Every structure is written in structure tokens, then in C-alpha cells.
């Protein structure tokens, strides 16, 4: 569980459906597939929420040379810390907020280039996946509709993150409610649904 | 040794403890998802509703958008799935019995769910207190709840009201009492149906006890198996009290077989003897099927009565009587010798009936009418003649025909009084005649000729109605069945019997499942004139609790039984109901 605001990276390019950020180094669990992230919106008090669905590292000519030269350990560590090309993190937009009002919908505007992207705290994840005394899973539809995204894995990973943000006594109830929301959306494909639910049952 | 615990001792003395009223809060079962007025409504059950806790015949109430309540009865219970593929290939972990399995918990109520089909019967507008027949249905997604005690009371009336009698509890509503409107029950002929061993006699005895207690009609019971008047045994060989014991002074027992009554320890108030000279051709006509009398032979009966006079039966049975009056008729061929011989042989059956005498000292009809006119209920035990259908039919037809004639005369006289003086005549007290094995009286072939067919058809015109008890309703003339106002039906298996019971009942198709699923004991589906909507009841037990309740009401609270009942009631804390 995290309560500190952690910067993941800066926005490289952005669109309404999602955006890509760049970060220099990877830390344990940051950036992580299925994590909830938040970027500031242009309007004061507004925010854009997303889910990390891909983390990729591009090579560059120097790295190619080093790979073929069997470099010493110090050089490898230096290359990892001071990369010429940033680690690229793909984010799927799944919600936006104005003040405290969180909605599971696409943002009206994408974040601006070089804006910071933050890892959501546990409190923020809980707020995003709650609605009053119940849970909010409307973002499932945005994930299911996304193209070129490992949808099922992303849903399972995001629910793992959201469950982990809660007290242990509440996790099972949360996952069961999430499963019920998925049943509504995936009833036409019971085989896929069962596979997804099995992933949740093992969380 | 069979020792009883102190608790059992107390129960034995006080009678079974009354069930606690259903104080559970009204439970939401689900929401309306489809249906029609003619076919009934589909209700998707909430996840929290355990489908195994719902049975066909149960009462539910749908709450409409306008505040209207729709009183309905569950007619089917189903399992459904959002996708039929789930039924074909259920998730593997759900094959076991582990209800706590994650997948099972997710699927239950979402991918798979329970569904009930309900038939709306009555509706009650907001602010109104009189339910009306249903003419519309609730909107989509309106909630459906279990019926409350207050709602059951609203539909059926309260047992505390005069003329109402508690007959049982609705299905799965322990402690809630369904009261039967006895005034409506006797307004038209009624029937108690059910296959053998389903408790028809107990149910009938209980209904009769209600009629006697509430004094809504005077009863004449043709007690084929000696079950209603004095004590008898239930199937577990426990002795149960008869009506005469419960209402001393208000129920008298007559018998056709004094010896049998004496052997059984039955206290009888009189013995019925019928003289041969009192028998008319119509009485024999009603036995035509059983005696295998042809149409020619039936016609000859009337001829013989005319020729031989009042003593025609006695003379035909007298082997030494030359029957001189018939010689010319035999010569002319008005009557054939073979026909006469056949009639004599067939009437020979009467010699086996000891209640038939060449001359009877008293007119049996007068004996019964004296009591009936005075508001005293009569049970006629048949003793060993209960096993003889011929005897039962002969006596029941004989007495009923004459009592009916008496009622017709009195009713017409009362109407005449009204017409001439405007002062109002003395209407005969409503009479309910209870007959068993009714299909033998009301068979389509003979129903038109017997007095019982006439009574059933003419409804309450002359203040006489029938309470027919039968196990083969399919054997009853459909026209008669359609005139049966209230039908109390225990379990029936035979398809033709089920069809017969539902003849003339609107929305009967939806109730078939309900009837088919009744328990074989102490459950009955009541429908028709006396109940605003069909109801499945767990009929009240005919035992000490009922005795105690009836004892309080009986005969001015005199006698040992009433005293004991008063004591029981007092100790139970029902002081408000007892006057000491």
C-alpha cells in the first residue's frame, strides 16, 4: 500500500484515449503493468486517470555497441541509469476528475507534453474504484473497448492493484463485486469470462 | 416404557402450542422482468433470495409504480442463465458442492439466477382496502415481496370477524391465518376433492366444525364411513372427536345401523327406519345404474307404483302375493312378465337392508326436519351400510329429495308472504348437505335425474347447497362441476381429475403446477367463490387446539370439555376471550 505521491515520468505524447510517458529508470514496481496513474489536467483541480498497459525500452546505437563488446559491470549500470532513450510507458485513459468528482470516462483533453505523471496512492485508487458505499467498475468498459491492449491481463492486473490498496478483510468482497460487474459485460463470452474470473480468484 | 417429558406432558394437557405469528420483516424477492396479464409475470430473483425457499403456491406481492399492490401466487420456479452456454458448460469448480467457491459466488445472481413465475390475482390501489380482480400488471423492474400477515388478512378477512373461520396457514407463512368466509362458502355448492389418504375427511370435518361454530348454515351430513358424528380414528390410530362431541346439543347423530353405532361406542340420538311404503319409484330410479335397471324396467316401476299403490315395494317383495292387479296388464302386454320378474329380483336387494321395514313407526324425514328446522345439525351414520353404495345412494337420495321439497315449499311460502303482506316471510335456514363419493350421485348419466344434480344446478335458490366430498371429480357431470362454487382440493394425480377440478376456473392453467406439487397430507388448494384468490393452505390440525377453540364457542360454555378449554385458554393467557 502506498500513500506517497510518486512521479513515474513525463508525458511524451498524448491523445484522448491514452498517452505515453517517458522515464529514465525503472524502480521496483514503478512503472508497473496495471498500475493506476494520474496526470494533472489543464483546468485547475482536474486530473486524468489512466492504467499502465505497456512498459517498453527501445535500444540505441550505443547500447548495441556495448552489447556486442561484453562490457564491464560498471558500464552496464551506468547505461541503465543514464539512458539516452527513455523507458516508454503506455497509459490507457480510463477516467477524469474535477475536484473530488471522479468519472470513468475519457478526458475532454489529454495531458500536456512533459507534464508529470504520478503513480496513484492507495487512497486515490480506492477513491477511483468506489462510489459511495459500493464499488465503481465503469472503467471496465473503456478497457474492454481498447484496441492493441492486453485487455484481460490489464483488467486482472488493475484489479489486483485496486484490491491490494484495500484492507485485507475487504479484498475478497471487492473482487467478487468486480467479478459480478465483469459477468454483465462478458456474458456473451463465457469461456473468456471464466478465464478472467479464474485470474481474479487467484489474486 | 413410554415416558413423556414434562414439556410433552404440558403439551398433552394444553394441546399443541400455537405457532408464533410470522413476525419476520417483509422480504424482497426480486423484480418483475416480464410477463403478461394472461400468462403471468416473470420475476428475476435477487441474489440474496434462496430459490429453495420458494415453493409454488406461495403468496407474493408486486408493488407497482402507482402504489398499487398486486397479490400474486407463485406458479413456477425456474433456474435461468444469462447465457445458455453456461448451462451447457458450467465452470468446473462449480461442479462440486462448495458454495463458497469464488466463481460460484460471482456467478450466483448474475450469470445464473433464480426466476419465478407468478400469477397476479388481485390488486389493491394505494389507500384502498378492498382488493379487486387484477386488470393490469406492474411495470418493469418493480419489486416483488413476500406477502405479509396484514396483506393476507386484507385478502381473506380476519378470523375474528363473524362468519369467518381459520382454516390453515398459507404456504411457508407459519403463524399467519387464512380465514374462510363461510357465508360465501355456503352461498353456492362446494367441493372437497383429493385422492385417497390426503385428508379429505379431516378437512371436511374441520370445515363442518366451522359452519357449526359460526352458525351460518345448518348441516346434514351423510356420513358414509362414520367419521363425522362421534369419535373416529385417524391414520395413526389416534382418536379424534366428532362434531357431536365438539358441539353437544347443536349436532345430533342418527344412525341407520344401531348395532354398529353401539359397537363403536357412538352416542346416537336416533335411529332412522324407512318403511317400504315410503319408497317411491324416483328413489329406485336413482339406483338404476347400480341395480342395472334398464329404461324399460325404470318405466315399469312407475307403472307398478300406480297399479299396486303405496305398498308397491312390499308387495313386489312378497313372494306369496299373487299381484292380481297386474294380471290384465300382463295379458295385454302393458308390462312384460320378464320385466316384472327382473324388477322383483333386483328389488330383492332391499331385504338385506335392515333399515328398510315393511312399516316404519316414524317418518324419518320428519325426524330430521324437526332438527334441521330448529337449527340443529344432523349427522347420519351409515354403520355397516357405508360399504354398500346402493344403501348410501338410496338413503341419501330418499332423504334429500324430500328435504329439498320441504325447503322449496318453505321458500316459496316465504316469498308468497313477502308478496302478499310485505311483512317478510320466514325463510328456511340455509342447509348444507354433505355427501361422499359424490361422483356416484353426480355421474353425467344420472346427474340430471338425481336430486343432487338439481340442487347443484339451482345454486342457492332454495337455500340448499351441497358440500361434496370426492376422490374422482372427473366422474362428476361437467355441468355440475362448473356450478361448484368453492373447490378445496387436496393432492390429485390423475390428469382427468385435475382437469375436472379446474373446469370453469379462470387462469386454471397456471394453477395446475401448484396442485400437482401439493404435499400428500394436510395441504389443500382452495379456490372459487369463497376465497378472493386461490390459496394453498397447510390446513389446521384437527386436534386438541381446535377442540379448545371450538369448546369455548360451544353450547353456552357448559360441559366438561368447555370447562377444560376455558382452563387451557386462561392458563395460556387468553383471558380477554373468556368470561368467567
What does the pLDDT read at residue B417? 67
State the virtual CA torsion across B492, B497, B498, B504 in degrees, nearest 10. Answer: -140
CA separation, residue B510 to residues B56, B124, B126, B424 (Å): 10, 21, 27, 46
A91 falls within a domain: yes
Residue A179 to residue B109, Cβ atoms within 8 A? no
A112 falls within a domain: yes
Which residue in chain A is spatially nearest to B91 when comparing CA positions? A194
Segment B130-169, tens digit of pLDDT: 888 899 999 999 999 999 888 888 888 888 888 999 999 9
Q: Residue B225: pLDDT band by 50, 70, 90 thresholds? A: confident
Bridge partner list, B550: none
Q: Residue B579: pLDDT band by 50, 70, 90 thresholds? A: very low
Instruction: Give yes or no for residue B577 having a pLDDT over 50.
Output: no
What does the pLDDT read at residue B571? 61
What does the pLDDT read at residue B221? 93
Please give the Cα distance from B37 to B120 (Å, whole number). 7
Nearest to B209 by CA among B244, B169, B161: B244
Instruction: Give yes or no for residue A188 having a pLDDT over 60.
Output: yes
Nearest to B442 by CA among B403, B405, B479: B479
- Residue that wins the pLDDT comparison between B529 and A69: B529
Instruction: Give yes or no for residue A1 having a pLDDT over 50.
Output: no
The answer to whether B49 touches B114, Cβ cutoff 8 Å, is: yes
A1 falls within a domain: no
A157 falls within a domain: yes
What does the pLDDT read at residue B140? 95
What does the pLDDT read at residue B124? 92
B486's CB contacts (< 8 A; 6+ apart) are B184, B185, B188, B190, B191, B526, B527, B528, B529, B530, B531
Q: Residue A139: pLDDT band by 50, 70, 90 thresholds? A: very high
Helix (H, G, I), strand (E, B) or coil at A150: coil
pLDDT above 70 coverage of chain A, percent: 98
- DSSP assignment letter at B359: S
- CB proximity under 8 Å: A 142-201 to B: 172, 175-176, 179-180, 182-184, 187-188, 190-191, 193-194, 197-198, 200-201
Q: How many CB pairs under 8 A join A and B?
A: 40
Please tell me the total number of residues recorded for chain B in this structure.
Answer: 580
Q: Which domain holds residue A132?
A: 6-201
Please give the Cα distance from B182 to B205 (Å, whole number). 14
Instruction: Give yes or no for residue A55 having a pLDDT over 50.
Output: yes
Range with the lowest mean pLDDT among B93-97, B359-363, B463-467? B93-97
Instruction: Collect contacts of A55-61 with beta carbons under 8 A, ≥24 apart.
Output: A55/A26, A55/A31, A55/A87, A55/A88, A55/A89, A55/A90, A56/A87, A56/A88, A56/A89, A56/A90, A57/A83, A57/A85, A57/A87, A57/A88, A58/A85, A58/A88, A59/A85, A60/A84, A60/A85
Please give the Cα distance from B82 to B104 (Å, whole number). 14
Tell how strand A101-103 and strand A87-98 pair up.
antiparallel
Chain A residue numbers touching B84 (CB-CB < 8 A): none
- Residue that wins the pLDDT comparison between B522 and B43: B43
Residue B83 to residue A180, Cβ atoms within 8 A? no
Q: Residue B517: pLDDT band by 50, 70, 90 thresholds? A: confident
Chain B residue numbers touching A188 (CB-CB < 8 A): 83
Instruction: Give yes or no for residue B557 having a pLDDT over 90.
Output: no
Average pLDDT, chain A: 89
For the segment B500-516, the average pLDDT, to the nearest whole number, is 80
**What is the complex's ipTM, to 2 decimals?**
0.84
Segment B14-35, tens digit of pLDDT: 665 554 444 456 789 999 999 9
Tell how strand B486-489 and strand B190-193 pair up.
parallel
Segment B175-191, tens digit of pLDDT: 888 999 999 999 999 99
**How far is the alpha carbon of B87 from chain A, nearest alpha carbon, in Å?**
10
- Residue that wins the pLDDT comparison between A5 and B249: B249
What does the pLDDT read at residue B10? 67
**How far is the alpha carbon of A44 from chain B, nearest alpha carbon, in Å?**
40
Average pLDDT, chain B: 83
Helix (H, G, I), strand (E, B) or coil at A151: helix
Instruction: Give yes or no for residue B96 having a pLDDT over 70.
Output: no
Residue A187 to residue B102, Cβ atoms within 8 A? no
What does the pLDDT read at residue A125? 95
Q: To which residue does cell 382418536 refer? A: B239
- Quote the number of domains for chain A: 1
Bridge partner list, B166: B179
Chain B residue numbers touching A175 (CB-CB < 8 A): 102
DSSP string, B438-504: HHHHS-TTTTTTSHHHHHHHTTTTTSEEEEEEES-GGGS-HHHHTT--EEEE-----HHHHHHHHTT
- Interface probe with A: pick from B80, B93, B111, most Cβ of A within 10 Å: B111
The answer to whether B451 touches B462, Cβ cutoff 8 Å, is: no
Burial of B219 (0-12, 13-18, 19+ CB in 10 A): buried
CA dihedral sign, ordered A49, A55, A60, A62? positive
What does the pLDDT read at residue A72? 83
**How far is the alpha carbon of B103 from chain A, nearest alpha carbon, in Å?**
7
* Peptide bond between residue B348 and the one before it cis (omega within 30 degrees of 0): no
For the segment B381-398, the average pLDDT, to the nearest whole number, is 86
A133 falls within a domain: yes
Q: CA Rg, chain A, in Å?
A: 18
Q: Residue A83: pLDDT band by 50, 70, 90 thresholds? A: confident
CA separation, residue B481 to residues A151, B452, B504 (Å): 66, 12, 8
Nearest to A56 by CA among A37, A35, A39, A33: A33
Residue B111 to residue A188, Cβ atoms within 8 A? no
What does the pLDDT read at residue B556? 43
Most confident of A137-151, B14-28, B404-418: A137-151
Please give the Cα distance from B111 to A182 (Å, whole number). 10
What does the pLDDT read at residue B269? 87
What does the pLDDT read at residue B420? 52
What does the pLDDT read at residue A90? 95
pLDDT above 90 coverage of chain B, percent: 24
Bridge partner list, B34: B42
For the segment B299-324, the average pLDDT, to the nearest whole number, is 84
CA dihedral sign, ordered A143, A110, A86, A50? negative
Please give the Cα distance from B568 to B492 (Å, whole number). 38
Please give the Cα distance from B445 to A189 (Å, whole number). 63
Instruction: Give yes or no for residue A156 having a pLDDT over 90.
Output: yes
A182 falls within a domain: yes
Please give the Cα distance from A44 to A82 (Å, whole number). 34
Q: Nearest 5°: CA angle at A113, between A108 and A114?
A: 130
**Cell digits of residue B159:** 378470523
Helix (H, G, I), strand (E, B) or coil at A45: coil
For the segment A153-172, the average pLDDT, to the nearest whole number, is 94
- Residue that wins the pLDDT comparison between A175 and B555: A175
Other CB atoms within a 10 A radius of the CB of residue B212 amount to 24
- Residue that wins the pLDDT comparison between B13 and B79: B79
What does the pLDDT read at residue B7? 67
Chain B residue numbers touching A200 (CB-CB < 8 A): 102
Beta-sheet strands, E only, within A41-167: 46-57, 87-98, 101-103, 116-119, 130-131, 134-135
Nearest to B60 by CA among B28, B33, B90: B28
Q: Residue B232: pLDDT band by 50, 70, 90 thresholds? A: confident
For the segment A61-79, the average pLDDT, to the nearest whole number, is 80
A42 falls within a domain: yes
Residue B83 to residue A187, Cβ atoms within 8 A? yes
Q: How far is CA A136 from the centre of its chain?
A: 17
Please give the Cα distance from B440 to B444 (Å, whole number). 9
Amino acid at each position: 500500500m502506498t500513500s506517497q505521491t510518486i512521479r513515474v515520468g513525463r508525458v511524451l505524447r498524448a491523445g484522448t484515449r491514452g498517452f505515453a510517458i517517458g522515464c529514465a529508470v525503472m524502480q521496483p514496481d514503478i512503472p508497473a503493468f496495471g498500475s493506476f496513474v494520474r496526470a494533472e489536467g489543464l483546468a485547475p483541480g482536474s486530473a486524468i486517470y489512466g492504467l499502465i498497459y505497456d512498459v517498453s525500452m527501445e535500444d540505441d546505437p550505443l547500447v548495441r555497441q556495448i552489447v556486442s563488446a561484453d562490457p564491464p559491470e560498471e558500464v552496464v549500470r551506468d547505461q541503465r541509469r543514464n539512458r539516452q532513450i527513455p523507458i516508454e510507458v503506455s497509459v490507457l485513459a480510463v477516467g477524469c476528475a474535477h475536484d473530488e468528482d471522479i468519472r470513468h470516462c475519457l478526458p475532454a483533453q489529454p495531458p500536456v507534453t512533459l507534464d508529470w505523471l504520478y503513480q496513484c496512492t492507495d487512497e486515490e485508487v480506492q477513491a477511483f474504484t468506489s462510489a459511495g458505499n459500493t464499488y465503481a467498475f465503469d472503467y471496465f468498459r473503456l478497457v474492454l473497448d481498447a484496441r492493441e491492449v492486453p485487455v484481460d491481463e490489464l483488467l486482472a492486473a488493475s484489479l489486483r492493484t485496486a484490491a491490494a490498496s484495500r484492507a485485507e478483510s475487504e479484498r475478497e468482497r471487492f473482487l467478487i463485486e468486480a467479478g459480478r460487474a465483469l459477468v454483465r459485460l462478458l456474458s456473451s463470452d463465457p469461456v473468456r469470462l471464466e478465464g478472467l474470473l479464474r485470474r481474479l480468484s487467484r489474486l | 416404557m413410554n415416558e413423556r417429558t414434562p414439556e410433552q406432558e404440558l403439551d398433552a394437557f394444553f394441546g399443541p402450542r400455537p405457532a408464533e405469528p410470522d413476525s419476520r420483516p417483509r422480504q424482497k424477492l426480486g423484480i418483475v422482468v416480464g410477463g403478461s396479464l394472461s400468462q403471468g409475470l416473470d420475476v428475476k430473483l435477487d441474489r440474496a433470495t434462496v430459490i429453495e425457499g420458494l415453493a409454488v403456491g406461495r403468496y407474493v406481492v408486486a408493488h407497482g409504480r402507482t402504489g398499487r399492490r398486486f397479490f400474486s401466487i407463485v406458479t413456477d420456479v425456474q433456474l435461468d442463465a444469462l447465457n445458455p452456454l453456461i448451462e451447457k458448460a458450467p465452470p468446473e469448480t462449480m461442479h462440486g458442492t462448495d458454495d463458497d467457491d469464488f466463481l460460484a459466488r460471482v456467478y450466483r445472481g448474475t450469470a445464473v439466477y433464480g426466476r419465478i413465475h407468478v400469477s397476479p390475482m388481485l390488486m389493491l390501489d394505494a389507500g384502498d382496502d378492498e382488493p379487486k380482480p387484477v386488470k393490469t400488471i406492474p411495470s418493469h423492474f418493480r419489486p416483488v415481496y413476500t406477502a405479509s400477515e396484514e396483506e393476507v388478512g386484507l385478502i381473506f378477512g380476519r378470523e375474528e370477524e363473524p362468519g369467518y373461520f381459520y382454516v390453515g396457514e398459507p404456504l411457508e407463512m407459519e403463524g399467519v391465518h387464512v380465514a374462510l368466509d363461510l357465508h360465501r362458502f355456503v352461498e353456492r355448492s362446494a367441493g372437497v376433492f383429493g385422492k385417497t389418504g390426503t385428508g379429505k375427511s379431516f378437512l371436511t370435518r374441520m370445515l363442518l366444525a366451522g359452519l357449526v361454530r359460526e352458525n351460518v348454515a345448518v348441516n346434514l351430513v351423510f356420513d358414509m364411513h362414520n367419521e363425522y358424528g362421534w369419535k373416529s380414528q385417524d391414520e395413526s390410530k389416534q382418536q379424534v372427536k366428532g362434531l357431536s362431541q365438539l358441539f353437544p346439543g347443536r349436532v345430533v347423530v342418527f344412525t341407520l345401523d344401531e348395532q354398529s353405532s353401539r359397537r363403536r361406542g357412538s352416542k346416537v340420538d336416533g335411529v332412522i327406519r324407512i318403511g317400504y311404503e315410503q319408497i317411491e319409484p324416483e328413489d329406485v330410479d336413482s339406483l338404476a345404474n347400480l341395480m342395472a335397471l334398464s329404461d324399460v324396467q325404470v318405466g315399469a316401476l312407475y307403472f307398478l307404483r300406480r297399479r299396486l299403490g303405496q305398498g308397491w315395494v312390499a308387495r313386489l317383495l312378497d313372494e306369496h302375493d299373487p299381484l292380481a292387479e297386474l294380471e290384465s296388464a300382463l295379458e295385454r302386454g302393458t308390462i312384460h312378465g320378464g320385466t316384472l320378474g327382473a324388477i322383483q329380483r333386483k328389488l330383492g336387494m332391499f331385504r338385506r337392508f335392515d333399515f328398510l321395514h315393511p312399516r316404519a313407526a316414524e317418518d324419518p324425514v320428519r325426524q330430521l326436519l324437526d332438527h334441521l328446522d330448529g337449527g340443529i345439525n344432523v349427522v347420519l351414520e351409515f354403520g355397516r351400510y357405508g360399504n354398500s353404495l346402493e344403501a348410501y345412494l338410496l338413503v341419501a337420495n330418499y332423504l334429500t329429495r324430500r328435504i329439498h321439497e320441504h325447503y322449496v315449499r318453505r321458500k316459496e311460502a316465504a316469498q308468497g308472504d313477502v308478496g302478499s303482506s310485505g311483512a317478510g316471510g320466514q325463510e328456511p335456514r340455509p342447509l348444507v348437505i354433505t355427501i361422499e363419493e359424490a361422483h356416484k350421485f353426480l355421474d353425467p348419466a344420472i346427474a340430471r335425474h338425481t336430486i343432487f344434480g338439481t340442487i347443484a344446478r339451482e345454486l342457492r335458490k332454495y337455500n340448499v347447497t351441497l358440500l361434496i366430498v370426492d376422490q374422482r371429480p372427473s366422474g362428476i357431470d361437467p355441468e355440475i362441476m362448473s356450478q361448484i362454487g368453492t373447490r378445496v382440493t387436496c393432492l390429485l394425480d390423475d390428469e382427468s381429475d385435475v382437469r375436472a377440478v379446474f373446469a370453469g376456473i379462470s387462469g386454471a392453467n397456471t394453477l395446475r403446477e401448484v396442485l400437482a406439487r401439493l404435499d400428500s397430507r394436510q395441504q389443500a388448494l382452495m379456490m372459487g367463490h369463497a376465497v378472493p384468490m386461490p390459496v394453498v393452505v397447510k390446513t389446521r390440525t384437527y386436534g386438541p387446539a381446535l377442540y379448545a377453540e371450538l369448546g369455548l364457542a360451544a353450547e353456552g360454555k357448559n360441559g366438561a370439555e368447555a370447562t377444560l378449554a376455558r382452563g387451557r385458554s386462561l392458563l395460556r393467557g387468553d383471558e380477554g376471550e373468556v368470561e368467567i
